[in-house]
Amino acid sequence: MINVPNEGDDVTQLPGRLVHVERMKMRWADMDALGHMNNTVYFRCLEQARISWFDGLGIDYADRTQAPILGSVSCRFRIPVVYPADLAISLYAGRPRNSSFALSSAITDEKDPARVYATGEAVMVWIDLRDGKSRPLPDWLRQRLQGLQQ
């Protein structure tokens, strides 16, 4: 379980090591009837940051034999994102477990990182795509994640 910092706390207190920052602009269509970013869009931002990091690792989704899938995801909404907004989604990788690892994240204002819109956590599970069962993390990924902890 992630210890979510209180508003104004430093997001560098999130568990794990910083592995990726994704920058995005809030789109006009991302707003809901209340005039702020719809709660579903936060999850899309977190998803895009994860996928961009996986792309950078060279994970081949065309392989169709083994890949990471989302085991669980949570988001703590802190303050509303109001249009226009330039966002930075920071991703922190945790220690590898047998077949999974946690990714903590923060959605902040790109120009003012102390302005934290949301924090979240995703548990990624490595599975065999043919039978849908978890498998041990591949050695290359485990070594990469362990190297982040040093």
Q: Assign 10 a pLDDT band (cuts: 50, 70, 90).
A: low
- Interval 74-97: pLDDT, tens: 999 999 999 999 999 999 999 999
- The answer to whether the pTM exceeds 0.85 is yes
Given this model, what pLDDT does residue 89 score? 98
Q: What is the mean pLDDT of residues 108-120?
A: 97
Provide the total of helices (H) and of strands (E) in the chain, helices listed first: 2, 5
Q: Assign 51 a pLDDT band (cuts: 50, 70, 90).
A: very high
Q: How many CB atoms lie within 10 A of CB 111?
A: 9
